[in-house]
Every structure is written in C-alpha cells, then in structure tokens.
Amino acid sequence: MELEQARQRIEKLRVLLDQYSRQYYVEDAPAIPDAEYDELTAELANLEAEFPELASLDSPTEKVGGMASTEFKTVRFEKPVLSLGNLHSFEEFVEYQSRVSQWLGESGPLVWTAELKIDGLSIILDYVRGRLRRASTRGDGLVGEDVTANVRAIAAIPQTLTQPVTGQFRGEVYLSRTRFESLNHQRQSQGIVPFANPRNAAAGSLRQLDARITGERGLSAFIYEVRDIADVLIERQSQALGFLAQWGFPVESHWQVCRTLEDVRKYIERFQQQRPPLDFDIDGLVFKLDSSVWQTQLGATQKTPRWAMAYKFPPAEALTRVRDIVISVGRTGTLTPTADLDPVLLAGTRVSRASLHNEDILRALDVRVGDNVFVRKAGEIIPEVVRVESKLRPPEAVPFVFPHTCPACGAPVERIPGESAHRCTNGLGCPAQLRESLIHFASRDAMDIEGLGEKTVDLLLESGLIHAVQDIYRLTRADLMALPRFQELSSENLVSSIERSRSRPLSRLLYGLGLRFVGERGAKTLADCFGTMDALEKADLAELQEVPDIGPRTAESIVQFFATPINREIVRDLARLGVNMAEPIVGNQKRPLDGHTYVLTGTLSTMTRREAELRLSALGAKVTGSVSEKTTAVIYGESPGSKLAKARQLGVSQMNEQEFLQWVANQGQK
C-alpha cells in the first residue's frame, strides 16, 4: 500500500473507531459487534506499525475506553484506568505467557489469577477510613463521570466497609439476568421499549440523573481490583481478592489461582464449554499475573497493562431452521434481509430472527427458506446467520430472489455502485421510511418532541392523521384526544412539545430530516456555514465540498436531497407551518470566530476536549478533526502527535493550552 493510500485509510479508520467508541461507551448503543470493532482496531494498529510516520498519540489505538458524558461532573484519575488486550485461544495464551516470561527474565512457571470477565460497566470507588466518598465511571481512562449519588443507591456496594481502610477500588456494575427479564416484562406491559441486553440496561441505569431510578433498577456489582491502598501490604492478586471480601465488598466467587498451563487450559474449558449456570452475563475471562512485584515490573502501555489479558469467548452458535426471509425497509430506504427462524435458545435468550445484512452476504451464505442454519450472537448482542448446514437442505429449497421493488410501497429499488445496500427510491413517500423518519425526526437529538415515540407514531399512522413529516405540526388536541390512551393532559403535553420544537435551530432540523451521511456534527457544520435552509438548498456541489468535514459523498447526498421534489415540498411545508429555518447567531451579532476553523490535538490538562470544542463553537468557530491549509490554527496539549507536525509543515498557526486560555479570555472581552 502506498503512503497516501495508507494515510487515507488510517484517517477513515480513526473516524469510524472514534464514532463506534462513543456509541458504545457514551450512548450505550453499540453500532457494530465487538469482533468487528476489534478487527478494525487491529487493521489500524497494523497500518500504524507499517507506516510509523502516520502514528498519532490521539489515535483510537492509544485510547483506553469511551468519553465522559457531559451530564455528570468529571473526575480526573491520578492513575489511568486501563482496558485489557484480548486473546482468543489457548494457543495465544501460551504465546503471551512466553513473552511475559522473557520480559520478566523468569525461567520457572508463572502463577496467574483467573477471573470471570463480567459484562457490565466499570466503576471506580474511593473510600476514606472505610466510608464511600466517591464513585465514578471509567470514561476514557483519564477522565470519568462522577456517579456517587447513583452508586449509593446500589445495595450491593457497601457505604461503609468492615474495616476503616482508605483506598481506591475497581469493579463492575451489572444487571442480573433475572432482574433484566423482570424489568423488560414490566416495560413491555407499560408499552415502553424493552432494554436490548443487560449491559445496556446497567449502563443506562447507572447514568440516570435521578438516583431513585437507579435504585429501582436493582443493579448489582462485583469488585475485583485494589488500585490504591494505604497502610495495607498486598503482594498478590489472589490476596487482594481475599482482602476485598473481608472488607465487605461483593467478590465474584469463581476466581482461581492457576499455577500451570494445564490449570489455565482447564479453567478456559470449564467456562467456554461447560459453563456453570450464572445469573449474570460474562464476555470472557481475565488472566492476571498473581505477583504484585511482577505486575509492577512489567508495567503498562498507554492503553493496557502488560501483566493481564482478557480471554474472549467465540460467539455461541445454535442450529435452527429458516422459516422465511423477510425484507425490511429502514429510515434511509435501505432494504435489509432478515431470516425468520424456528425459535432457538442462544446465549441465554430465545432467538427467532437473525440478520442477513445485505444481498451480497445473503448470496455468499446461500441462505434459502427451509434451510437449517447456524446462528450466533455477534458481540453477544445481535443474532446473525453464520453458515448453512448444506447436508440438511431440503430438495424444495430455492435461491432467494432479492426484490427489485420496495416491499412497503412498490417503488423501484436501486443499488448505488460501490455500495452493498439496495434502497427504495420513493424517499419519504414510502410508508416504511416514513415511520422510521418520524421517529428519528422527533428524537431527542433532532427536534426533541417529547411523547412522540414509536407507539404514538404507530397510532398516528394507523389513524391516518399523519401522511408526511410536516403533518406533525398540523396535529390538534382534538385529533389526539380521539386516539386510544390519549387523554386531556397527555394531548396537551404533546401539542405543547410539538409547539416548542418549531423554534429548534436549523442544525437540529437538518439532522431530523435525515439527509444521508449527515450526522449531528455535519448538520451543525452545514447550519453554521450556510445559516439558512434557503442558502443550503441553493449551494452547489463545489460549494458544499468547500465546507470542512463535508466530503464528496455527503455533498452529493445533500444536492440529491434538494433535487427530489417530495423533499423540497416537505421543507416548504415546514416553513409555512412556522418551523424555524435558520441557525441563530448568539446575541444576534456576528461572532468573533465566524468562518474560522480550528483543530484540537493532544491531552489538555485544564479541560476536556469537548469543553474546548464548546468554547470555540460558542465563539463561532468550526472544530474539525484534520489539519489542512484552510485550518486557522491548531491548539495542542501534551503529546500532540502528527496533527501538530502537519500544522508546522503547512505553516498553520499553533498555540499551546495556556496560550489558548488567554486567547479565549481576550476574545470574550471584545
């Protein structure tokens, strides 16, 4: 691969991994399976190793975890909270032990402590003289979220220890399977969307702004690490687990000291093949050098300790029969094939549907109605078909023919060259796209219409009150009162929420309209750049590609959106119905940094990266992720990496953190 090709691929992988990391750690809504994320990370790491001149300290390969949510106070850790490297076979463990022996200069056997890897949310607990003083999430490993009030509502975590120890401890907050099923049954009976899985439920429960809700969810926890301790000598991890139990912490009981490779192999087999019944989810095992001296001697990389590794289980598989292959239509018109299955128990839950992703994968697998197939949960979450058991194929099974027309509206289906997806060409005229578009339009990050969720959207569509997005703004209290479950107060609340949404800024409207490839950040960039919907609609392809972070594909999507008559009609109707079509300027005055573009790099010591972005945005600046000749300046902290070097190469201005703070203060005085 040539240098420029590698640069482009590395930049694309970094953007993707940052996006997926945020979805996993901050939004608690993973977009891809863990295995696929690991593959992308490995590809990026290999490219950075092959082209060291393109390596950067702010690359996802150097990051520990997610980012801190802005809804809680932040906690800065004195010692980074690290993540773990992954092993996938006993053979890989043997190789890892050999490397550790070489690093330590040990010729004798190594002793390991083996533990279950709980699938929950990492928690850091600070105790002073035996009393809980602070609890925080891991965040990005350097800065976490203060969730003390919520953790005090978790009965499993002691407020007071049995001994007056002072120290910092790490563990995992989780939701038991029993409690998860009970909560979902309760939510379904109330017409609320059930949780996707116990981990998402635990993460969402721990991050509630109302601690009472956290308490009601019934979270549990296991504590497994002494990060720091005063006046207590701990020489081994196995000893630490014993102390934790003595002090009153909940400690998972299946840990074991492994003195030989045979011990390690048997421990892996026990939980991979003959797993005892557990009331909580695990996504693997953890092996730690038992000796604290060895741990200190080995140390850690920026991201992971060298003395510990996670052992990831291969996804569990089950054999079942394909009843049908169903095509669903998403918000953007994408046609997705799904296998309708004979129900089968898989990874603790009953599965009756599994994704086939797209036509290419469906054809590569050659899945047919009537086939017996192996299914697994990708990343322990999303069921997918792995392969067909061809020996069991019935004679009447025929290849599936992918539709040329939309199953929801009958419009032609197109496949854009270079893409794997087939899409309905009818846009928002397609009822399937309309439903998903309405839900997205009303979502919190878009127009934020409280009360207009999936159930209400379905009611409105079934009753014929809504035929297009703009019909939301024609709803009256009388319309809503005629619907099942709606009474005077709920009708008034929804109408009021719809009314408030009329004044949302243009950026929220653009995101809500669901232009392909335009996310929240892209919508804000476009709104800041063009100011009004009319100006954006008149922009041509060349003008759009001049906008930072708007590439050719996104620019073409925007032009195509406004070239479609039904989309122009929707925008005109929304404007006539009083929906705001402009991005407001703070104080109705030109902001000092309007038209300027900045890049942040390195670790800032006085604020988070997000706080710096918000300060710049408040002054009118655009914050982008890459340096170009059009960049106004690069602001850098510790370990800035390749972005600073590129700025110097291009002659772009640079300022360090202190210079930035002084400069921002001066801007605010103008």
Count Cα atoms within 13 angstroms, Cβ side, for 659: 9
CA distance 153 to 217: 10
Q: Identity (one letter) of the amino acid at 288?
A: K
CA angle 539, 542, 544 (to 5 degrees): 50
Q: Are strands 622-624 and 597-601 parallel, antiparallel or unpaired?
A: parallel
- DSSP type of residue 636: E
**Contact call for residues 612 and 69 (beta carbons, < 8 A):** no
| Cα R_g (the chain), whole angstroms | 27
Q: Whole-angstrom Cα distance, residue 326 to residue 340?
A: 7
What's at 79, amino acid-wise? K
What is the maximum span of the chain, computed from C-alpha positions, in angstroms?
Answer: 82
Residues 6+ apart with CB under 8 A from 538: none
Q: Which residues of 627-637 are buried (b: 16+ CB within 10 A; e: fewer)?
A: beeebebbbbb
95: its two tokens: 């190789």
Q: Which residue from 585, 435, 421, 582 is spatially nearest to 510, judged by alpha carbons?
A: 582
- How many angstroms separate the CA atoms of 582 and 505, rounded? 6
Identify the active-site residue in 117, 524, 643, 646: 117
12 is catalytic: no
Q: Which amino acid is at 398?
A: V
Separation between Cα atoms, residue 53 and residue 7, nearest integer Å: 10
Contact 124, 206 (CB under 8 A): no
Host H or E run for residue 182: helix 177-189
List beta partners, residue 258.
112
For residue 141, what is the enclosing H or E element?
none
Tokens of 576: 């006539």
CB neighbourhood size of 10 (10 A): 22
Question: What is the total residue count of the chain?
Answer: 670
Query: In terms of Cα–Cα distance, which of 600, 597, 606, 598 is closest to 639?
Result: 600
User: Taking a C-beta distance cutoff of 8 angstroms, is the pair 515, 555 a contact?
Assistant: no
- Any idea which residues carry the catalytic annotation? 117
